[in-house]
Every structure is written in structure tokens, then in C-alpha cells.
Amino acid sequence: MSYEVRGELLGFPDTLNVEITEIDEMFSTMKDLDNEHISFTLVNPYLLREYSFDVPSDIKVLLEMSDKSKMSVYNLLVIQKPLEKSAINFLAPIVINHDNNKLAQIVLDPLKHQDFGVAETIESFRPKT
């Protein structure tokens, strides 16, 4: 499915249209439709942890959100070898409004979300044995 980027993806101001393809329930890829060399790996944060935040009003306006909008949230993943060492950025989620196929990246305040890190590894969420 393709989406219009509202606002800016951090570090990628020219990425305006993306396609997201689900790999499985945990991982997806997001590709820039205008630049074949830019792609991202996304992770579903809700499969790893308790994850909640308020969407700022300016983002709600950008995404034309209402209380009834069908939304989803992803986090960017920096792939490492082995995969368990890959890092997730929980402080800059990607929010999607599926009703109009628009997405935006939010930068959360780390002081308000002290449980969320910028580079938390996948292995840190595995059950301890």
C-alpha cells in the first residue's frame, strides 16, 4: 500500500511517497517510491512492549485524523547481525492514517517518555530464561 508522507521523515526530507509491505506480523518494509535506493525496515512495537503516547495536535491535523480514524504505528529498525542486536527507535514512531493513506513521523519528548529509547535492541525484549 502506498502512503503520502506528511511533514518530514527524520533525515529524509525528500521522501514524500512511500510504499509499506508487510513481511510478517512483526516486520514490514517502507520504500521511497521516488528513490529506489531508500528503504527502511519497520517493526510493530505492540508485539514487543507496552507502547502508548498521545499524537500531538499538529500531527492530527497533518494526517486529518479523527477519533474514528483507522490508525497504525510502526517504529524504525536499524538492522544488525545477528538480528537480535538490531536497534529500534521508540522515540520517533511512524503514525499512519489508513482512512486517507497519509503518514507522519512523530518525535516524542524523551523526558515524558523515559521508558522509550532511541536504540533499544530486539534482544532486550526477549523473555529471560
pLDDT at 28 over 80: yes
Give the pLDDT confidence of 76-97 residue by residue, as tens digits.
999 989 888 999 999 999 999 9
Grid cell 536499524 in the structure block, residue: 78
Query: Which of 41-50, 96-105, 114-123 is the least confident region?
Result: 114-123
Task: Give me the residue spans of the domains in the chain.
Answer: 2-125
**Helix H or strand E segment including 58:** helix 57-62
**Helix H or strand E segment including 24:** none
Q: Does domain 2-125 have CATH number 2.30.290.10?
A: yes
CA angle (39, 59, 47) in 5-degree steps: 55
| pLDDT-based confidence at residue 103 (cuts at 50, 70, 90) | very high
